[in-house]
Amino acid sequence: MAGRWVTVVAMSILAGCAGPAEPPSGRGFAGPGVAVSVAALNLQGVGDVVWDVEVVNGRTPTADVVWQRRLSSSGYGDGAGSASYVGPCDADPAVAENTVNVWVVGVYSGAVTTLGAFASGGAGGVVGSALDFENPTALAPLTQAVNCLPNADAAVRFDVALMRPAQQGFFDIAVNFNNIFCSAKFDCCDDTTGDGCAADGSEDVALLFAPGGARGPTMVLGFACTAAVGVDVETVLYLDALELDCTAPTDFGDGFEADVVIDPSRAAGNQCVAGEVGGDACGAVTSPTSADADTWLYQVGVYRGVEQLTSGGVPGQKVYWNVALGVRRKVEAGPGIEDCWLRTRGTAHDGAGSSVVEGGVIAPGAVYPVVTWEVNLGSCGAEALAFGDAGAMLRPAYTTTSEAEPPFGFEYGVNTPAAAAGLGCGLLGVPCPAGFTCSTEAAQGSSYPAFCVKRAAFVLDGLPYDHDEVYVPAGTFWMGCNAALDGYCAPANMVKDEKAQHEVTLPAYAIGRTEVTAAAYYAWCGYGVPTATGFVGCLPQHNEASYVYATYSPPLNSGVAWTKHAHPVNAVNWYQARAYCQGLGPSSDICTEAQWERAARGGCETLTGPCQTSMRTYPWGESAPSCDKVVFRSGSVFCESATITGAAGARPAGASPYGALGMAGNVMEWTSDWHWAYPGAVGFWDDTNVRVRRGSYYEAALAHYLRASRRQSDLAGSNGIYNGIRCCRAMP
């Protein structure tokens, strides 16, 4: 069964008398479209209208149902009777004469609370305060025929009484892969001449309702796939968030910074109150930058569904996922949607039979198709899927055997509710939050598939340095030594006490991807003069000129070259560490002990077995420490024999499940906690003069020193050479 799209629009406005409907004007499409007028409905005081809509193909003697849907104007329109819906039609040449049937189910004084199921106009299942009305579909549905031709737009419109007309066209450009048939398009307007959208708005598609009740300019993304036919097939679509860069984008790579991000997985229908898209007003829309989405959008609509089809007598299913953007056009020289570029990706698979794609992750090394939307909204028209044109706004591409494809953000399918895709990013169980990118590149060389990374950098003496964060989602872990795996647990009544293991739940936070480097600390502190107490000032106790193991800059007139810019800063005390981290922003501080340990060994969502007994021994898992994973002393040999410490972040094989690097060895890291015994400990360690340090150090010679549960403490004012910094940041 070939794929095409049809926009079904059922409309009604308040009217008190009967009369002929006004003829449609500004059709905005070249394909079939007929305005149907019926006797006016007396809709005074209406708060909702419920419609049944059906599309069937032209098969004889018995047509196949393409899709059926019950709609309400409160969920899919203006709340006063009008409703819109986007769904497929059947473009198979043998049955391309499709028919759209519409029934008025009921008219209600307020928004209905329950729709009920499609019933060809039967009102059963609707919960609401019904109003009497003359039903034009009491004996038969309103019917329109639409010729569902490949490579041509099709639209159907139902005008009931004095309703405003609506217009919209869709597509039939497809790709077939691995028995999966997919269609995709992006309509910026009804571009009948193929030269882009008319500047005067005459070719605009009017689908969504703008503030004030009139339909406004609308752009529509469409995506539909069928994963073969048969009762054992489960088509699943994957789609990323739609991202818009509206502030001087230069390309779709490094020159693209999303100002608006749209989540396509929320409940179908209107996503926002018309005209209230920006800020926190619309849950489906976020703005990672300070930009206001209301500048470019007035509404977002999402439409999803599953068609039950047959092909040669064999059942099949087509899944579709469409997103409509109510856009604000430029007024003279002001801002408008023409300033924006849009990007997203999609693909599909058979959830019952494919192992190549799982949870939105394409298996590394697999060659698999992906549909890419990279649309300049200022110059686009009716953009079709283009083959062999690398510069096309909508094009298919293939993953390669050499690079892993970033996981997809969202999924929807036959038995898959619309939600964040599978495992989210890597092992996190959720997609990355705004400002973070799901990076497979950052995970290369590690034990894990991907991490949520927020990139940041600074330049010192002409050299660039990273200052990245990784994301740790809200969740639970078991803190303390895991006797089932660790092999050694420091007993209670010791400064290193790690018992008893206990459950801890934390909100989401970000943590430094690496220890704070000497260069980053120098960029903050410079070369001040320590006070007489030795720890009130920011300057570390030692530098490369004064101590061979130190990493900080030598005095400017010492004549000693600074070689350890990129190593973790050391010889800092607790007060200095906290001052540095708090200086990064109001939500930043050194990590709590629980934050540090969860980031080091992962939470329950990253494990496959029982959480308590499966907690990792080391950040990378259970394999023994080695110099490719951690900076330590392997037997009698330092892993970094020339410099003793090592560059921060230089050992990706030692990454934690969230992407934090260097969580074992190199330098220890201050936490904010006083050193107390854990809840349930047999003995009780209480020393309010010391703070906890985590992470071990470059001289550690025994494997159990490098465990993620290991605790050590030191006086808060100590500038010991092992002492370093890592920062955490609370997430909103």
| Helical pair 574-582 and 518-525, crossing angle rounded to 10 deg | 80
Say which residue the tokens 């539909």 belong to. Answer: 224
CA distance 549 to 551: 7
Q: What is the pTM of this model?
A: 0.49
Backbone angles phi, psi at 257, to 5 degrees: -130, 115
CA distance 140 to 293: 44
Q: What percentage of the chain reaches a pLDDT higher than 70?
A: 81
Look up the CATH number of domain 451-730.
3.90.1580.10
pLDDT, tens digit (0-9, with 9 covering 90-100), for 267-321: 899 999 999 999 888 989 998 888 999 999 999 999 999 887 766 677 778 899 9
Strand-pair category, 727-730 with 437-439? unpaired
DSSP state of 621: B
**Predicted pLDDT of residue 28:** 34
* Mean pLDDT, rounded, for 227-235: 77
**Predicted pLDDT of residue 531:** 40
User: Do the beta carbons of residue 118 and residue 68 sit within 8 Å?
Assistant: yes
From the list 92, 40, 46, 48, the residue with the least C-alpha distance to 66 is: 92
User: Do the beta carbons of residue 668 and residue 662 sit within 8 Å?
Assistant: no
Contacts of 229 (CB under 8 A, 6+ apart): 309, 310, 311, 312, 314, 315, 316
pLDDT band at 100, cuts 50/70/90?
confident
Would you call 227 helix, strand, or coil by DSSP?
Answer: strand
Q: What percentage of the chain reaches a pLDDT higher than 90?
A: 42
CA distance 242 to 222: 12
Higher pLDDT, 556 or 45: 556
pLDDT band at 492, cuts 50/70/90?
low
pLDDT, tens digit (0-9, with 9 covering 90-100), for 207-222: 999 999 999 999 999 9
CA distance 320 to 175: 14
**Predicted pLDDT of residue 145:** 82
pLDDT, tens digit (0-9, with 9 covering 90-100), for 32-72: 222 222 222 334 457 788 888 888 889 999 999 988 888 88
Burial class (CB in 10 A: 0-12, 13-18, 19+), 311: middle
With a cut of 80, say whether residue 22 has pLDDT above it: no
Query: What type of residue is 731?
Result: M
User: Do the beta carbons of residue 299 and residue 326 sit within 8 Å?
Assistant: yes
* Mean pLDDT, rounded, for 395-416: 77
pLDDT band at 671, cuts 50/70/90?
very high
**Predicted pLDDT of residue 230:** 74
* Mean pLDDT, rounded, for 125-135: 80
With a cut of 90, say whether residue 449 has pLDDT above it: no
Q: How far is CA 429 from CA 320, 412, 426, 452, 730, in A?
A: 25, 16, 8, 11, 19
From the list 6, 1, 75, 52, the residue with the least C-alpha distance to 322 is: 6
Measured distance between the N- and C-terminal CA atoms of the chain, rounded to whole angstroms: 47
CA angle 553, 554, 556 (to 5 degrees): 100
What ranges do the domains of the chain cover?
A: 1-172, 175-422, 451-730
> Which residues partner with 316 through β-bridges?
229, 309
From the list 90, 74, 91, the residue with the least C-alpha distance to 82 is: 74
pLDDT band at 29, cuts 50/70/90?
very low
Say which residue the tokens 């959008």 belong to. Answer: 297
pLDDT, tens digit (0-9, with 9 covering 90-100), for 591-647: 999 999 999 999 999 988 889 999 999 999 999 999 999 999 988 899 998 899 999
Neighbouring CB atoms inside 10 A of 285's CB total: 26
pLDDT band at 502, cuts 50/70/90?
very high
Mean pLDDT of the chain: 81
* Mean pLDDT, rounded, for 166-178: 32
User: Do the beta carbons of residue 342 and residue 377 sit within 8 Å?
Assistant: yes
**Predicted pLDDT of residue 557:** 82
DSSP state of 273: B
> Which residues partner with 457 through β-bridges?
466
Both tokens assigned to 254? 């490094």
